[in-house]
Amino acid sequence: MFAQWALMGIVGIAGITGTLAGCLPVHAASACSILSILSPANDQLLTSYNGMDAPSLIPAIFGSDIDREPSNPPQMWPAATGSAAPVLSDLPLPGLLRETALPVDYCGLHQGMAAALILAVLGGWISLQTYSTNRKLRHEMRECESAEAKFRSLVEQRLVGIFIIQDCQFVYINPKFAQMFGYPVEDMMDRLGPLDLIAQADQMQAHEYLCHPPSSDNSGIHHTFSAIRRDGSLFELGISGEAHDYQGRPAILGVALDITEQNRMQRQLNYLAFYDSLTELPNRALFFDRLNQTLAYHKRSGSSFALMVLDLDGFKGVNDAYGHQIGDLLLVTVGRQLRNCIREADTVARMGGDEFTIILQDVHQSDNVILVANKILATLTEPLFLMGYTCRISASLGICIAPQDGSDMETLLSCADAAMYESKARGKNTYTFYRSALNSDRLAKTPLLEWSEQLHLGVTVIDEQHSQMVALLNRIGEAIKQGREEESVMVLFNELAAFSHMHFETERQLMDETVYTDIVAHQQEHRKLLEELHSIRGQFDSVSPLLTLQTLKDWLRSHIIHSDRALAEALIASGTETATQELFQTLHQPIEE
């Protein structure tokens, strides 16, 4: 501000000087002296006019067209006859001008005033521009300081660690980074380097990634290390960084995350996606993947493998007599026994309910398969003692051999499934090879899901609707096996969805009548089942038909055996079963098979 006001003062003095220069006759030397004092930078220019009298000096400076003797010159001071013109020292002017004692001859006030006005306006404009620019700069500086403070606060309070590494040493870390390792920031900066925080097994990789900034053509650093906390415990550290210049030298700017829990959750999700949560055996999805890999391997090698489908006999009786807890424990025990009956290279999976599948690798002759089948049957027929209860079950096995009985998943599973039903028809607790027991006509007539005693709940209206849903499911399975057009299959899907919605509404009415305590959870289960059915229908054209059929089969079995069994028991206990007869007559809508 002081500089601005000083500039304005100089411009004002220049204006006054211009005014006086226009209205006073001055000697050239005196005029040059004044202007030289006011503007030392023009000394050389003014010297060139030295020796000129005032009438010659003014036109030389301001132009020859200036009339130095106007017809009616303004009279600034009255002139006395015979008296001398006033001198500058007689005027009330500052000491500098008074000392020059310039004589006054005439006054061209209009030229001086014009020059003064131009200089004043120019000076004011310069002052305003300077003031505006300085004000804008101060505002921008305040904004920069505020942004820097916010950015620093953001970095310091981030939930992720932030670091800068230069020459394999930390030059900056935020508090979160130090907190992950259990150190104060100062201790890490003063005493520790990046390699001091990495487990010995990852030292070489850490040195490669953290001590050498990535080149310009590199996308950056993305790596996981086993890191060491201050207390010696290990955790999984995820690092992401890029090369940057820091104080004119290459460095690594990056973020760090403790991803131990994230990786644990991801492993758990992956496990749940491919393993049965109850028995910890591979589930249907993983089984299909392994069966597909097995087919590819044996096609290349030319060897054979066996596929078994196993269904437990007597499981429903145990489940009904002793409850679901014993039933679940029985399934867990069976899963463990089946694993003990096969080799490590083989696969046993739970397809849903009490149905299991087994892949036996590199089968050179059927006798090897028979040995495994007999071992399984002998193991499962032994009594099981579970929580004080004695449980007796057996199994029906269906067996097929690839590639003799088929070279694709759909054919092999259909063959083994048909052979399993043949074992049940022969009295259960036995095995059947497909090639010796069945023909193609029997295979084509094998239903996707048979209505059995296991699916019977004892509530008339619910059992009737369940049987119709099974019939619809089998019609979908038959249409898919016959290779019908997708449009006709979608019509059957829509029928099943509409009937399922009606069935769930029937159950809601029954729950309202009995004041069923788990009505909210049961209705949520209904919504989930409808969403799953729509999802299966939507993915029909993008997944294996066999996978679609197995998913549909498990979808309905799970609903009947798990969701509706508890409801049926509550309805029977409350005496509502007798009242459902009228409802059954109203809602009964048989479906032709």
Q: The domain that contains 194 carries what CATH number? A: 3.30.450.20
Distance CA(228)–CA(405), nearest Å, equals 56
Do 550 and 512 reside in the same domain of the chain? yes
Residue 7 forms part of a structural domain: yes
For the chain, give the percent of residues with pLDDT over 90: 27
What digits encode the pLDDT tens for the residues 448-483? 777 777 788 888 888 888 888 888 888 888 888 777
Full residue range of the structural domain in which residue 484 is found: 449-593
Asked if the model's pLDDT at residue 350 lies above 80, the reply is yes
Do 548 and 484 reside in the same domain of the chain? yes
User: Which parts of 447-551 are beta strand (E)?
Assistant: none
What confidence category does residue 377 fall into, taking pLDDT thresholds of 50, 70 and 90? very high
Q: What is the CATH number of the domain that holds 591?
A: 1.20.120.50
Do 419 and 503 reside in the same domain of the chain? no
**SS (HEC) of 307-366:** EEEEEEECHHHHHHHHCHHHHHHHHHHHHHHHHHCCCCCCEEEEEECCEEEEEECCCCCH
What confidence category does residue 544 fall into, taking pLDDT thresholds of 50, 70 and 90? low
What confidence category does residue 444 fall into, taking pLDDT thresholds of 50, 70 and 90? low
Q: What is the mean pLDDT of the chain?
A: 77
Domain boundary among 263, 293, 318: 263
Distance CA(311)–CA(551), nearest Å, equals 17
Distance CA(480)–CA(544), nearest Å, equals 11
Q: Which of 42, 46, 34 is nearest to 98 (CA)?
A: 34
What digits encode the pLDDT tens for the residues 4-42? 555 555 555 555 555 444 444 444 444 444 444 444 444
Domain boundary among 223, 239, 263: 263
Q: Which of 360, 322, 352, 317 is nearest to 335 (CA)?
A: 352
Domain boundary among 232, 263, 294: 263
Do 234 and 323 reside in the same domain of the chain? no
The arithmetic mean of pLDDT across residues 107-128, rounded, is: 72
Do 16 and 71 reside in the same domain of the chain? yes
Do 9 and 30 reside in the same domain of the chain? yes
Residue 558 forms part of a structural domain: yes
- Quickly tell me which residue has 């079963």 as its tokens: 577
Do 89 and 114 reside in the same domain of the chain? yes
Do 292 and 177 reside in the same domain of the chain? no
Element (H, E) at 10: helix 2-23
Active site residue 43: no
Do 235 and 381 reside in the same domain of the chain? no
Distance CA(450)–CA(163), nearest Å, equals 64
Residue 348 forms part of a structural domain: yes
φ, ψ for residue 136 (rounded to 5)? -65, -40
Residue 135 forms part of a structural domain: no
Do 541 and 576 reside in the same domain of the chain? yes
Report how far apart, in Å, the C-alpha atoms of 504 and of each of 289, 305, 370, 469, 523 are.
Answer: 34, 43, 45, 12, 8
The arithmetic mean of pLDDT across residues 422-445, rounded, is: 76
Q: What is the CATH number of the domain that holds 327?
A: 3.30.70.270
The arithmetic mean of pLDDT across residues 299-326, rounded, is: 91
Number of structural domains (the chain) is 4
Segment of 126-140, 428-442, 458-472 carrying the highest mean pLDDT: 458-472
Do 297 and 213 reside in the same domain of the chain? no
Do 459 and 592 reside in the same domain of the chain? yes
The tokens describing 122, both together, are 């120019």
Residue 550 forms part of a structural domain: yes
Q: 258, 311, 346, 354: which one is catalytic?
A: 354
